[in-house]
Amino acid sequence: MHRTCTSCGSINRIPAANLHQTGRCGRCKTELPLASAPIDVPDVAAFDDIVSHARVPILVDFWAAWCGPCRMVAPEVARVANDRAGQLLVLKVNTEELPELARRYRVQGIPNFAVFRGGRLVHQQAGAMRAPDLARLVDTARAA
């Protein structure tokens, strides 16, 4: 994955295992901020890399652009990503662009939220949720 330096604009490659941490720009050495927004998953390989190497829990939002409830919960998902920056990663998987991931995790209705820990799916739930409920979903899965 990549993170753009806010100081010099340089694009920095961040290994999946370190996405939850701050880092330093390879060019200007300025501190790179935490991932405080949902990460749009570009392809299946990136998804698999992040899920298998992340050192923190991952909340995945399976969504589609045509889905009204998905658009309604997007600010709630972003709020969880911001509030829990450094403690978890939030991924957004567009089911129209990556249908193979939707099939793999048997996503039948969207929005659909999945929590991964240690490379494994630990909880999955369909339906719109508010930020506190999403955070609780992650906390429950973390304790399991």
Q: Which residues pair with 112 in a beta bridge?
A: 62, 126
The arithmetic mean of pLDDT across residues 14-36, rounded, is 92
Q: Is the pLDDT of residue 60 over 80?
A: yes
For residue 94, give every residue at least 6 positions away whose Cβ sits within 8 Å of its Cβ, in sequence order, or none.
Answer: 40, 41, 63, 64, 65
Tell me the whole-structure pTM to 2 decimals: 0.92
Helix (H, G, I), strand (E, B), or coil: what is residue 104? helix
Q: Which amino acid would we find at residue 4?
A: T
List of domains in the chain: 2-32 (no CATH), 39-143 (3.40.30.10)
The arithmetic mean of pLDDT across residues 69-89, rounded, is 96
Q: Is the pLDDT of residue 78 over 70?
A: yes
Tell me whether residue 70 is one of the annotated catalytic residues: yes
Residue-wise pLDDT tens digits, 93-132 = 999 999 999 999 999 999 999 999 999 999 999 999 999 9
For residue 95, give every residue at least 6 positions away whose Cβ sits within 8 Å of its Cβ, in sequence order, or none.
Answer: 62, 63, 64, 101, 102, 107, 110
Out of 5, 8, 28, 67, pick the active-site residue: 67
| CA distance from start to end of the chain | 28
pLDDT on residue 103 = 98
Q: Looking at 30-39, 59-68, 72-81, 84-93, which range is the least confident one? A: 30-39
Tell me whether residue 28 is one of the annotated catalytic residues: no
The arithmetic mean of pLDDT across residues 42-52, rounded, is 97
Q: Is the pLDDT of residue 142 over 80?
A: no
- The percentage of the chain sitting over the pLDDT mark of 70, rounded to a whole number, equals 99
pLDDT on residue 144 = 66
pLDDT on residue 30 = 95
Please state the φ and ψ torsions of residue 42, each to the nearest 5 degrees: -80, -30
Residue at token pair 């923190």: 56
Angle at 128 between CA 61 and CA 123, to 5 degrees: 55
